[in-house]
Chain A
Amino acid sequence: MNHLATNFYEAASVILFGIGFMNLLLQNNLIKKFIGLNIMDTAVYLFLAAKGYIFNRTAPILTDGIIDANYYINPVPAGLVLTGIVVSVSVTAFSLALVQRLYKHYGTLNMDEIMQFAREGEGE
């Protein structure tokens, strides 16, 4: 319990990850499914950002000439978050393009209905 209280950012991000993951897995509405994907990815970015931040320190930008590393937070996780954001943006763009085409063809966003239509189409 104590660990949860001290690491509440991490705990929150893992819970968010779970919410996003289950949405991606179980949600029938395709748009909501990919919102789930974004929640999942964002949860990991929260985790990374929380890990990179060190209390009472400042952003690693040299302004007053201090080169001591103990004065700054860890910049690497921020770099990872940026890279991750680029990746998830492109994945989301691809997914939404796909969803749009599916909607144009089937006229619905419900995955179950789409699967049913697809099966009917195959059976012909």
Chain B
Amino acid sequence: MHHVNLVHNIPFFSIFLAMFCGIITPLISNGKIARRVHGAMVLIVGVMSAILLINVTKNQETFTFMMGHFPAPWGNELKAGPLEALMALTFSVVMFLTVTGGSDFIYKEIVPEKQNLYFIMLNALFGAMLALVYTNDMFTAYVFIEINTIASCALIMAKGTANAMVGTTHYLVISLMGSGLFLLGLSILYSITGHLLMPQMQEAIIALAATGEYHFPLLVVTGLLFIGLGIKSALYPFHAALPGAYSAAVPTSSGILSGLVLKSYIILAIKLIYSVFSVEVMRELKIVNIMFVFGLVAMVMGSVRAMKETRMKRMLAYSSVAQIGYIYMGIGLASRIGMVAACFHILAHAFTKSMLFVCCGSMVDECDGKEQLYHLRGAGFRNPLAGVGFTVGALSMVGVPLFAGFISKLYFASASVYVPGKMIAVLLVLAISMILNAMYFLPSVIAIWTPVKTEGEQTHKRVSVSPSFGIAVVLFIAANLTLGIWYHPFIHIIEMGISLLQ
């Protein structure tokens, strides 16, 4: 009996636990108990991911976990290193805080008989996202992309209103186009490389690139795969479904979808770049430059559309489009430090946007669901905690120092210095985008802190929020400040993770 390293079982066990909880949740008819099971599962996964992270950073290693004892190139594999562990930890923490902070919305907006079904979908979604982070097999990635899609559509639809159904249909159609393209690309890639596991694929691709054989199919494949993932992660021209879906869904769902689900596809794209196509081949095929241009366009256009929007949740959705643009821009720089900045922005945006959606949802709720800025005036006084959370999130998105968003923008700017051809474009668009960010976030912050003088006496009646919401928002703010002030360890882990991915 060979030595079994328990830490190496963590990736598999995390995915398995999430899926298992999804399977047992239908037996629990009470939504509150289902939430506790879900919360416990996410906490356990979070603790395990932290242990994994400490272990892999201490040993500076990545390892592959063989599923079903068939060795490569036949078996299925999971792979984990510092970057994967950090992402799994982030996903667990953000998931836990968003669901804790947003549990009131779930109880209020979803009919009681169906609340447990909501948690099935959350569990499945969490398992699928972890699988996308850890998988080392392309077809497994495809299957989990589809699970991710169905679960996120169900989360949007959970509210059951007409708007939610229309939003879901839109989101579903666009997501399915993305996964269809991914599947076709994957099939062609399989037919020219003969492998499905990432390391073996990479060997074959490097060999093909060296001989120049199948140059055109390779180009088409990269195009299909990255356009597919671009559509799924709502890169600018493919963002059309986001605003409708996010504003119609329960705020908890919107926070998770925008903060985490979009990121899980981007992490897969990053893994494709490093572990499948290799940076040299990507550069040669010029795909990174296309991602760079799309990223820049998204940064500006997302912000412009957000500025025109007067409804809060739609504004946040458009802001997500702009932030996804930042990440693609960082990837498109095709340098190590650009990728570090992109990965850090994944963390920063995950923590910030989820908090924004939860706080915004809480403020909109007290205004009887009216989400126009006009109606939200003074909401910060009525619900101070949500107001402070929203303000912190907005400042972080704009890029004010001490908050998480500032660090990623700083790193994007310094990354551009090393890429002379793209430096001017990056700095210019970064500046424009930050000004635009400020132009739509600051008015909303000012609006929620504007006292309203109405004829009624009880203008600033404080509303009570549940303790779980309070704790979640405080922890979110703490996490944001941590990322913004003590960012060095995170950057260090990301750097190590990226160098180990290659």
For the complex, would chain B's binding face be called helix, strand, loop or mixed by DSSP majority? Answer: helix
Q: How many A-B residue pairs have CB under 8 A?
A: 82
B451 within 8 A of A: no
Looking at the assembled complex, report how far the CB atom of A23 sits from the nearest CB atom of chain B, in whole angstroms. Answer: 11
Question: Which of B142, B168, B173, B190 is A33 in contact with, Cβ under 8 Å?
Answer: B173
Contacts of B154 in A (CB 8 A): 94
- Which residue numbers of B lie inside 8 Å of A, CB to CB? 139, 142-143, 146, 149-150, 153-154, 157, 162-163, 165-166, 168-169, 172-173, 176-177, 180-181, 183-184, 187-188, 190-191, 196
Given contacts A51-B191, A95-B172, A95-B176, 9 further A-B contacts (CB under 8 A): A21-B177, A43-B184, A47-B187, A84-B183, A91-B149, A94-B154, A102-B166, A105-B165, A118-B163
Q: Is B146 a contact partner of A91 (Cβ separation < 8 A)?
A: yes
Looking at the assembled complex, report how far the CB atom of B26 sits from the nearest CB atom of chain A, in whole angstroms. Answer: 16
For the complex, would chain A's binding face be called helix, strand, loop or mixed by DSSP majority? Answer: helix
Contacts of A24 in B (CB 8 A): 173, 176-177, 180
Which chain A residues in 17-33 approach chain B with CB under 8 Å? 17, 20-21, 24-25, 30, 33
- Which residue numbers of A lie inside 8 Å of B, CB to CB? 14, 17, 20-21, 24-25, 30, 33, 37, 40-41, 43-44, 47-48, 51, 76-77, 80, 83-84, 87, 90-91, 94-95, 98-99, 101-102, 105-106, 111, 114-115, 117-118, 121-122
- With A and B bound together, what is the CA distance between A101 and B172 in angstroms? 15
Contacts of A48 in B (CB 8 A): 187, 190
Question: Which of A41, A76, A101, A117 is B180 in contact with, Cβ under 8 Å?
Answer: A41
Task: Select from chain A the residue with minimum beta-carbon distance to B185.
Answer: A44
Looking at the assembled complex, report how far the CB atom of A10 sits from the nearest CB atom of chain B, in whole angstroms. Answer: 8
Looking at the assembled complex, report how far the CB atom of A17 sits from the nearest CB atom of chain B, in whole angstroms. Answer: 6
Looking at the assembled complex, report how far the CB atom of B395 sits from the nearest CB atom of chain A, in whole angstroms. Answer: 30
Question: Which of B157, B162, B177, B187 is A121 in contact with, Cβ under 8 Å?
Answer: B162
Q: Which 5 residue pairs of A and B lie closest in terms of their CB atoms, listed nearest first?
A: A51-B191, A118-B166, A87-B146, A40-B180, A44-B183
Q: Is B168 a contact partner of A98 (Cβ separation < 8 A)?
A: yes
Q: Is A102 a contact partner of B184 (Cβ separation < 8 A)?
A: no
Task: Select from chain A the residue with minimum beta-carbon distance to B160.
Answer: A101
Contacts of A121 in B (CB 8 A): 162-163
Contacts of B183 in A (CB 8 A): 41, 44, 84
- With A and B bound together, what is the CA distance between A30 and B188 in angstroms? 29
- With A and B bound together, what is the CA distance between A98 and B150 in angstroms? 11
Task: Select from chain A the residue with minimum beta-carbon distance to B192.
Answer: A51
- With A and B bound together, what is the CA distance between A62 and B251 in angstroms? 56
Q: Is B166 a contact partner of A44 (Cβ separation < 8 A)?
A: no
Known interface pairs A21-B177, A87-B146; A30-B169 also in contact (CB < 8 Å): yes
Looking at the assembled complex, report how far the CB atom of A16 sits from the nearest CB atom of chain B, in whole angstroms. Answer: 11
Known interface pairs A48-B187, A80-B139, A94-B154; A106-B162 also in contact (CB < 8 Å): yes
- With A and B bound together, what is the CA distance between A74 and B180 in angstroms? 23
Task: Select from chain B the residue with minimum beta-carbon distance to A93.
Answer: B150
Contacts of B184 in A (CB 8 A): 14, 17, 43-44, 47
A-B pairs with beta carbons under 8 Å apart, 18 shown = A17-B180, A17-B184, A21-B177, A24-B176, A24-B180, A37-B180, A41-B183, A44-B184, A44-B187, A51-B190, A76-B196, A83-B143, A84-B183, A90-B150, A94-B153, A94-B154, A111-B169, A114-B169
- With A and B bound together, what is the CA distance between A77 and B194 in angstroms? 10
Looking at the assembled complex, report how far the CB atom of B58 sits from the nearest CB atom of chain A, in whole angstroms. Answer: 37
Looking at the assembled complex, report how far the CB atom of A37 sits from the nearest CB atom of chain B, in whole angstroms. Answer: 6
- With A and B bound together, what is the CA distance between A20 and B191 in angstroms? 21
- With A and B bound together, what is the CA distance between A90 and B172 in angstroms? 13
Question: Which of A91, A102, A117 is B176 in contact with, Cβ under 8 Å?
Answer: A91
Q: Is A94 a contact partner of B187 (Cβ separation < 8 A)?
A: no
Task: Select from chain A the residue with minimum beta-carbon distance to B247.
Answer: A122
Contacts of A118 in B (CB 8 A): 162-163, 166
